[in-house]
């Protein structure tokens, strides 16, 4: 089947992330778009790149004018307005165009870390204890140190650095204030789990398949917390990048591998994901699998974890991209 595909993505602009020095994550989507475009053309499809710019109303109008069999959705939200990622997916549903990846509801849930963790707990899926706190509510803190402080509504490790791990009220207050100032709103504060770290990509719709998990291995200097910071992902000259390595497939025994895969699959289904998603996990001190985050529509660049896991499962990159495309056409 040869298809006409529109690849939609957000055009990088000089917004909030640039002023914070965290623009590489935003610009990285262009590398992803180029690779996906090449893969689709290599498979014989006709592919067009469609960069989206604000305002959202103009985007919805442009989506209605697309002439394509299917949309390859690489849109990650406008700079400073991450909620637009879900809104664009919902607009695609309203227009009636089939599109790759997760529906708007799953994207919105993945971006709201507090609501996501509440859903995990309700579904009986282990996740670290947490609170959603703003600067005015830090006095209500009721967790055990150490904790990690994250922006409530961001992805791509925006706002995460070694100071995000807090051990006392003074550092907690400082980090909650920093997150609130830079990203607006509240922070997610959760008890820091320092065991082995894994992630697994789930691929499919009603009958999803879990690709071979990766393990994040740290060789950081003493005193630096084992944390996948923004720098670890996006700044090649930083210590965190030099001393953080993803190993795929993870070196795990069959019992742990089975638990990781079951957890990832359960999370995928509980969140209403479709197409592909990534689940981040760590082991606690008793060896329990604790879900840290759910990432609908994660990075699928050739050097990203999802593509590496696909290769470990025997899929070349072009086949992986086409599989995601075909899943968008399945009736669900």
Rounded to whole angstroms, how far apart are CA atoms 288 and 259? 9
Length of the chain equals 332
Over 80: is that where the pLDDT of 157 sits? no
- Report the pLDDT value the prediction gives residue 47, as an integer from 0 to 100: 97
Mean pLDDT score, 70-86? 90
Determine which of 156-160, 205-209, 275-279, 318-322 has the lowest per-residue pLDDT on average: 156-160
Mean pLDDT of the chain, nearest integer: 90
- Gyration radius of the chain's alpha carbons: 19
Q: Which of 81-90, 168-177, 246-255, 263-272 has the lowest mean pLDDT?
A: 81-90
pLDDT at 156: 54
Give 86-99 pLDDT, tens digit per residue.
999 999 999 999 99
Task: Give the pLDDT score at 154.
Answer: 74
Least confident of 14-18, 118-122, 292-296: 14-18
Q: What is the pLDDT of residue 231?
A: 65
With b meaning 16 or more CB within 10 Å and e meaning fewer, what string describes 104-143?
bbbbbbbbbbbebbebbeeeebebbebbbbeeeebeebeb
C-beta atoms surrounding 84 within 10 Å = 21
Contact between 66 and 239 under an 8 Å Cβ cutoff? The reply is no
Looking at the chain, the whole-number percentage of residues with pLDDT higher than 70 is 90
pLDDT digit string (tens) for 31-68? 999 999 999 999 999 999 999 988 888 888 889 999 99
Instruction: Please state whether the predicted TM-score (pTM) of the whole model is above 0.85.
Output: yes
Partners of 132 in the β-ladder: 188
Q: Find the range with the poorest average confidence among 12-26, 110-124, 145-159, 184-198.
A: 12-26
Q: How many other CB atoms sit within 10 Å of the CB of residue 87?
A: 19
Per DSSP, the residues of 169-223 read HHHHHHHHHHHHHHH-S-EEEEEPP-S-EEEEEEEESSS-EEPPPEEEEE-PPTT
Helices 317-327, 305-312: axis angle to 10 degrees equals: 100
When pLDDT is averaged across residues 313-322 and rounded to a whole number, the result is 98
pLDDT band at residue 243 under the 50/70/90 scheme: confident
Q: Is 285 helix (H, G, I), strand (E, B) or coil?
A: coil
């Amino acid at each position: 089947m040869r298809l006409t595909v529109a690849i939609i993505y957000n055009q990088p602009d000089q917004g909030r992330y640039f002023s914070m020095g965290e623009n590489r994550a935003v610009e990285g989507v262009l590398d992803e778009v180029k690779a996906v475009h090449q893969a689709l053309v290599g498979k014989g499809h006709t592919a067009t790149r469609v960069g989206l710019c604000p305002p959202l109303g103009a985007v919805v109008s442009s989506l209605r004018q697309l002439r394509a069999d299917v949309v390859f959705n690489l849109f990650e939200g406008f700079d400073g307005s991450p909620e637009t990622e879900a809104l664009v997916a919902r607009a695609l549903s309203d227009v009636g165009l089939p599109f790759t990846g997760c529906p708007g509801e799953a994207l919105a849930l993945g971006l709201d870390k507090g609501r996501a963790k509440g859903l995990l707990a309700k579904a009986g899926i282990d996740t670290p204890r947490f609170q959603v706190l703003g600067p005015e509510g830090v006095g209500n803190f009721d967790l055990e140190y150490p904790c990690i402080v994250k922006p409530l509504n961001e992805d791509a490790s925006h706002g995460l650095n070694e100071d995000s791990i807090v051990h006392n009220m003074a550092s907690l207050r400082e980090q909650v204030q920093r997150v609130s100032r830079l990203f607006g709103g509240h922070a997610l504060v959760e008890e820091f789990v320092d065991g082995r770290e894994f992630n697994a990509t789930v691929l499919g719709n009603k009958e999803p398949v879990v690709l071979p998990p990766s393990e994040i291995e740290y060789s950081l200097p003493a005193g630096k917390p084992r944390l996948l910071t923004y720098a670890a992902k996006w700044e090649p000259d930083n210590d965190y990048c030099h001393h953080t390595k993803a190993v795929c497939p993870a070196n795990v025994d069959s019992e742990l591998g089975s638990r990781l895969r079951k957890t990832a699959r359960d999370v995928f289904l509980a969140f209403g994901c479709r197409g592909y998603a990534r689940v981040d996990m760590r082991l606690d001190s008793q060896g329990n699998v604790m879900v840290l985050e759910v990432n609908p529509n994660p990075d699928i660049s050739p050097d990203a974890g999802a593509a590496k896991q696909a290769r470990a499962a025997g899929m070349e990159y072009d086949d992986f991209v086409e599989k995601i495309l075909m899943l968008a056409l399945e009736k669900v």
